[in-house]
Structure 1
Amino acid sequence: MTRISPENPEEPALRRQRISDFARNEDGVITIFTIFIMLMMLMVAGIGVDLMQNEMRRTALQNTIDRAVLAAADLDQTRPPTDVVEDYFDKTGLREFLTDVRPNQGLNYRNVTAEAFMRTNTQFMGLLGVDTLPVPAFSQAVEEVPNVEISLVLDISGSMRFSNRMKNLRPAAKDFIDIVLMGPAANTTSINLIPYAGQTNPGPFMFSRLGGNRYDVVAMDESDGGVDERVNNTQLPASETAGTGTDSSARYVYPNVSSCLEIDNSDFQDARLPSDGYYEQTAHFMNWRIASEIVRDADGNPVLFDENDEPVESGGTTRFVMDWGWCPQDQTSIIYASNNATVLKNRIDSMRMHDGTGTHYAMKWALALLNPDSQPDFAQMALPANNLVPPQFSNRPMAYDDNETVKYIVLMTDGQITEQVRPKDTMHVLNPEVHLGDRSSDRKSTTSQSTNVSSFKKQCDLAKEASRNVVIYTIAFEAPGTPETQMKYCASSDSHFFRATGKEEIAAAFSTIARQINELRLTQ
């Protein structure tokens, strides 16, 4: 201890001076400040490292739970949803963090909700008393198959014989059927299959119901183009003499083997079925020459076929790739509201090409068969006596604003809309065998190409009105230029239009459309 002696009175002042000098001394201040700042920076960086590590673990956990619920919610998934989710977590080594799985499913939907939780041990935040950070994850996925109504419109005009278009179309269209009717979707999905050429054939029942008036029945020999009246829509009175042919037991008559209605321009101004109550029947004729194919054997020699399409050594003909008629014959008429994949695919396999390209007719039928005003017609077709619509679809088409119903038109063509021509005489004796191209004096134009294009666009516009909620997909199959422009116009958007060339692209177009219709949605 320093003592202050009376002999040294300056010691207190000296001490005060030294203390004052120490207080004013700034040596080492920057070093201390620097150390403080560095500690703060390290602390912030450490917090950032802990948060980044936590976010990485959260992302991995969230990605796992998202993938798991998506797979579990797939209606095509045969395993129990809980098992699927747990398996995903097992594979990623995160099983212990899965806390809850809640599946909920019904006839046409499956909803899977899952939760997971883990904690991240901190490395730096522990200094602040935060030893762990929470890592929650939640996900919900639903695949819902609402009531789906589809009008599938397929071009079967004669130009489809080029470049194997028809051959390539058939498997692509059948794959579309398989996809949209896969699993539980078949319970709620109905398909109107609408083949079309120069006209669209609604079939004998709808022809009659809508007021179709068939042309007269007259005798005609098979050699002149007559057909067995047993396959005809009209028969002669038993007392009248019929034509003759190769089957001596058969009665041959003028062909009446199709059921197209001669609807007029006014019918294209609304979205309903033809409703005038009286329509003439489209004649049985060809405008352009019917196309045939020459089938050759291994030696390159032409193969001939008989009337049953069986190969013969002599006396036969080359095989036709088209059937006679601007109006498709009844075996290639519309199929209504079907969910029977076998029936639909058999029709696709068996449908035959015909003359002309009347896309406006096909679009008219496609929209009308989605119009709820047509429900009484579907109810009649669903009656056991008619058996044209499955009983469960007797209430279709559903209302446009039904929240549980979606409506689609899928339209495919390979050519532009043509002029509509007819024979001046509906029952001219040459109509069944000589095309109008060689009989210009017997031919008349009923509507111009531009008028038919306008009718087509009007139907597209009606379908795209917001109140109808109809989604339109279109495919231009090896049809550049004008046909492509027409298809683009009709599609709901540019993304709903597809351009296809060759087997792979037409298959991809139909498959993509089908999978978009069956879209799986992650809801949260």
Structure 2
Amino acid sequence: MRDVTVIGVSDMERKIEQIAMTVGWPIMGLNTRLKQTVFKPVRRFRRDEKGGMLIFALLCFMGMLVGAGMAIDFMRYENNRSRMQATLDRAILAAAALNQPLDAEAVVIDYFAKSGLKDYTLTISVDEGVNFRTVNASAALTQNSLFLNMVGIDTLSVITAGIAEERIQKLEVSLVLDVSGSMGSNSKLANLKVAAKDFAQALIDAGRVGKVAISIIPYNGTVVVGSRLAQEYNLTVEHNASTCVRFDDEDFFTTTLSTSQSIERVAHFDYQNSGRSSPIAWPECDTGTDSAILPFSTSIAAINAHIDGLSAGGMTASDIGMKWGVSLLDPSARDVLTNLIASDDADPLLADRPVAYSDGDTLKVIILMTDGDNTNQYDIIQERKSGLSDVWLDHDAPSGSTTKYSVYDTDREEYYYPHDRTWHATALGGNPVQMTYPELWGTFSTRYVGSYFYRYSRSKRDDMQNSYELTAGGNLSDERLSNMCSAAKNAEIMVFTIGFEAPIHGQSVMRSCATSPAYFYDVDGLEIADAFNSIVVTIQKIKLVQ
């Protein structure tokens, strides 16, 4: 191999001068002409940088062209991927629905056939049982590159996957329904009945036998526990005419309700009516079975009948309704349900319910509905809830007689006969018996007792007429409800609330109680059916689990 020597312009000039001297050429003229015609352009070309910038610009342009092309290919890839993923999600959600009768795999295939996608491959697997269906699918297609092949990438693989499952969980539901007096207006109670029955029907129809247990807790200023359910709790025994109870403030911080600890029974009394109604006309605690709690039912017939029997009346105490609704979802009520099953008052398929909060196969739900603000709660004052009153009853007097009562006045140490307003040394009648306070309050209203039996003394009249006390006002009820809602949510009970034509404050209280603002419904009129339908959908919704 020859050695190549690169010479500069100055070296070339010296070489030419040597050749010219050898052949006798005039050096001065030749050198000048060569400099002008040869060496000067060479020096100019050597110093010129314009050619380098052009090459650099061409390289940059090529890089930008390749980058833009790659972006187009990647955009095509993302477009195909998103379309295919969206189609796959819709397909597996539809296929997993337990209420659709078609073959799950065929549903997925049909969705893709109608999607407009081409040259894809599908892999589908279906797992299903009595109360669940799981659809696992993946889709893939090969995308030819338009520009990425310039850097050696001829194709891109577009792959999507998803799993959808519908599983009918065990459901434990408490329907806490406002039946206060205001529910009797504007067809509210009628609309509620239709919506609540449709709600129960939807849950039980979509479930399987023994999967769904529904408790109905009607409430106004109190909650009627009901004679059978009351047997499972330790209610005080001042009377047995009705089964409403009152709770302490601390009871609203816990989801449990002890079956052994004493629970104070609300007196059976009427503080509103002033007429002579015997027995009392408007008891604070209703005695009817239709207004009582219906616990742990699986029978749509029993649920519908109970809802149909609801009537409006009384004040509003959603805190007490919520307490009972939550307590019947708490595992501490399991012994209660076991005993109800043993006495043939509950479905044996509900054995071992309510389940523990940690049971991942069971959903606990409470729906709290109101049309107003919390109001006042009343009970007879403690010193007149039990024991003997000053009123005597002649047991030998004919039924319906108005001349069989007398009142002993401790100041005068005499008996007052209210029917003729006279005083005597002995009680009226041949067999006078001193009435207990529960007997007195169950027979006459507090207003009538004061105005009739004690009309001989204004102070004693007023004192007896005011034998009841405020146990909770609206603000305290709101506070108790808030505490109860927090306890329920902390236990991961799903809390839905409905403000049915409720005032602004009532709506605010309900919104705060719900698991999230999305679980609160502000409705009017027939919209209550939409609220219950939405709750059904939320409870039963199919979730993308991956």
Q: TM-score, normalised by structure 1?
A: 0.73
The corresponding residue for 2:148 is: 125
Paired with 2:315 and 2:213, the residues of 1 have a C-alpha distance of 28
Contact 2:85 2:160 in 1 (8 A): yes
Paired with 2:328 and 2:289, the residues of 1 have a C-alpha distance of 18
Change (3 A) 1:19 1:452: closer
Choose 169-178 or 276-285, whichever is displaced more.
276-285
The corresponding residue for 1:268 is: 251
Secondary structure of 1:174 counterpart: helix
Q: How many angstroms does 1:129 deviate by? A: 2.8
Choose 184-193 or 158-167, whichever is displaced more.
184-193
- Total equivalences in the alignment: 445
Paired with 1:109 and 1:498, the residues of 2 have a C-alpha distance of 29
The corresponding residue for 1:78 is: 101
Q: How many angstroms does 1:211 deviate by? A: 4.3
Contact 1:151 1:408 in 2 (8 A): yes
Paired with 2:265 and 2:204, the residues of 1 have a C-alpha distance of 37
The corresponding residue for 2:346 is: 389
Change (3 A) 1:105 1:28: same
Q: TM-score, normalised by structure 2?
A: 0.70
Letter matched to residue 268 of structure 1: D
Question: How far does the alpha carbon of each residue in 1:285-325 deviate from its partner, in whole angstroms, 9 at most, with x for none?
Answer: 583699xxxxxxxxxxxxxxxxxxxxxxxxxxxxxxx9977
Paired with 1:50 and 1:374, the residues of 2 have a C-alpha distance of 62
Secondary structure of 1:454 counterpart: helix
Contact 1:327 1:355 in 2 (8 A): no
The corresponding residue for 1:68 is: 91
Q: How many angstroms does 1:205 deviate by? A: 1.5
Paired with 2:509 and 2:500, the residues of 1 have a C-alpha distance of 12
Change (3 A) 1:56 1:187: farther
Secondary structure of 2:231 counterpart: helix
Paired with 1:8 and 1:345, the residues of 2 have a C-alpha distance of 132
Secondary structure of 1:209 counterpart: coil
Change (3 A) 1:341 1:443: farther
Letter matched to residue 300 of structure 2: A
Paired with 1:272 and 1:459, the residues of 2 have a C-alpha distance of 16
The corresponding residue for 1:374 is: 333
Pair 1:183-2:140 in alignment: no
Matches within 5 A, 1:119-518: 119-184=142-207, 187-212=210-235, 259-263=242-246, 265=248, 268=251, 270=254, 271-273=256-258, 275-276=260-261, 282-283=267-268, 285=270, 287=272, 326-327=285-286, 329-383=288-342, 386-415=343-372, 416-421=374-379, 425-428=437-440, 431=443, 443-444=465-466, 446-448=468-470, 450=472, 454=476, 457-458=479-480, 460-465=482-487, 468-504=491-527, 506-518=528-540
Letter matched to residue 257 of structure 2: R
The corresponding residue for 2:419 is: none
Q: How many angstroms does 1:21 deviate by? A: 6.0
Structure showing greater radius of gyration is: 2
Change (3 A) 1:289 1:345: farther
Provide the alpha-carbon RMSD of the alignment: 3.7
Gaps of 5+ in 2: 1-18, 276-280, 385-436, 452-463
Q: How many angstroms does 1:30 deviate by? A: 4.0
Change (3 A) 1:95 1:192: farther
Change (3 A) 1:450 1:203: closer
Secondary structure of 2:357 counterpart: coil
Paired with 1:167 and 1:119, the residues of 2 have a C-alpha distance of 60
Contact 2:210 2:350 in 1 (8 A): no
Contact 2:245 2:263 in 1 (8 A): no
Letter matched to residue 369 of structure 2: M
Letter matched to residue 47 of structure 1: M
Paired with 1:372 and 1:174, the residues of 2 have a C-alpha distance of 26
The corresponding residue for 2:387 is: none
Q: How many angstroms does 1:375 deviate by? A: 0.7
Change (3 A) 1:341 1:94: farther
Paired with 1:8 and 1:79, the residues of 2 have a C-alpha distance of 109
Secondary structure of 2:126 counterpart: strand
Gaps of 5+ in 1: 217-232, 234-255, 291-321
Q: How many angstroms does 1:138 deviate by? A: 0.9
Change (3 A) 1:286 1:279: same
Paired with 1:397 and 1:68, the residues of 2 have a C-alpha distance of 36
Letter matched to residue 365 of structure 1: W
Contact 2:220 2:316 in 1 (8 A): yes
Q: How many angstroms does 1:109 deviate by? A: 3.0
Paired with 1:49 and 1:64, the residues of 2 have a C-alpha distance of 23
Change (3 A) 1:430 1:113: closer
Change (3 A) 1:99 1:492: closer
Paired with 2:101 and 2:466, the residues of 1 have a C-alpha distance of 60
Change (3 A) 1:489 1:49: closer
Paired with 1:406 and 1:477, the residues of 2 have a C-alpha distance of 25
Contact 1:406 1:469 in 2 (8 A): no
Contact 1:181 1:341 in 2 (8 A): yes
Choose 181-190 or 372-381, whichever is displaced more.
181-190
Contact 1:323 1:354 in 2 (8 A): no
Secondary structure of 1:163 counterpart: coil
Q: How many angstroms does 1:153 deviate by? A: 0.4
Paired with 1:490 and 1:26, the residues of 2 have a C-alpha distance of 78
Paired with 1:129 and 1:366, the residues of 2 have a C-alpha distance of 67
